[in-house]
Amino acid sequence: MSVTIPIQAIELNAGSQIRIHNLTWQDFEQLLLDADEKRNTRMTYYRGTLEIMSPLALHERPHRIIADIVKTILEIQDRDWEDFGSTTFKRPDIAGVEPDTCFYIQNADLVRDCTSMDLSIYPPPDLAIESDVTSKTALNAYESLLIPEVWIYSNQKLAMHILQGDRYVQTNTSLVFPNLAIAEIVPSLVQQAIKQGTSKMLRQLRSYLKSL
């Protein structure tokens, strides 16, 4: 099957998604090439199935706040990191995914000079973060890319998935922050940021972390 409908012709209402089956890896690669870099959709491919999602504006803010929280904790812990945002990560013929945001932490030094992501050269990110519902297709794609930890924020709750072997297991203990109750802390901080402002929340978080 070949793709004959230009990606620009696919219109999605904010908050909606479509799923297309029986696409080849070459179809997916062509869609990525045809897509406008300024598009507001995210694409996930896994073994012939393509999902395209158009996020709500409300979807964007939580993952940005969570990224700020992650950076603040890493800063207080004096740890290096690199934020790769919604970079497209690919395992040719199998999977491709665009996280809401992602971080290199343990492997930060290995990707500092990276300007074009190639997983045959660079390791996968240490942490990927998604906001709202993530489908089984997306989790399968993350598993195929061997991303060690995925956080999914939805309905004011945080689910953490840790890669064990080749499958994810949901857990309450983060690999990145094993000594913090991340599943409890992050949702509370997101709501605090929405009610009081992100900068105020982050200042209070820094004070709290320094007191530990």
109-132 tens-digit pLDDT: 999 999 999 999 999 999 999 987
Classified as helix, coil or strand, 201 is helix
173-198 tens-digit pLDDT: 999 999 999 999 999 999 999 999 99
Backbone angles phi, psi at 138, to 5 degrees: -65, -45
- For residue 169, give the DSSP letter: E
Bridge partners for 83 per DSSP = 103
CA distance 150 to 133: 13
16-54 tens-digit pLDDT: 778 899 999 999 999 888 876 656 788 899 999 999 887
Task: Name the residue range of residue 91's domain.
Answer: 57-211
Asked if residue 74 is part of any domain, the answer here is yes
Q: Is the separation of the CB atoms in 105 and 127 below 8 Å?
A: yes
pLDDT, position 60:
79
Query: The CATH number of the domain where 178 resides is what?
Result: 3.90.1570
Q: Which residues, 6 or more positions from 65, have their beta carbon under 8 angstroms from its beta carbon? A: 189, 190, 193, 194, 198, 201
pLDDT, position 53:
83
Asked if residue 45 is part of any domain, the answer here is no
Amino acid, res. 174:
S
Asked if residue 41 is part of any domain, the answer here is no
Asked if residue 16 is part of any domain, the answer here is no
Asked if residue 63 is part of any domain, the answer here is yes
54-100 tens-digit pLDDT: 776 666 789 999 999 999 999 999 999 999 999 999 999 999 999 99
Number of domains in the chain: 1
Asked if residue 103 is part of any domain, the answer here is yes
User: Which residue is associated with the tokens 């890319």?
Assistant: 145
Asked if residue 23 is part of any domain, the answer here is no
Asked if residue 123 is part of any domain, the answer here is yes
Residue 12 has pLDDT above 70, yes or no: no
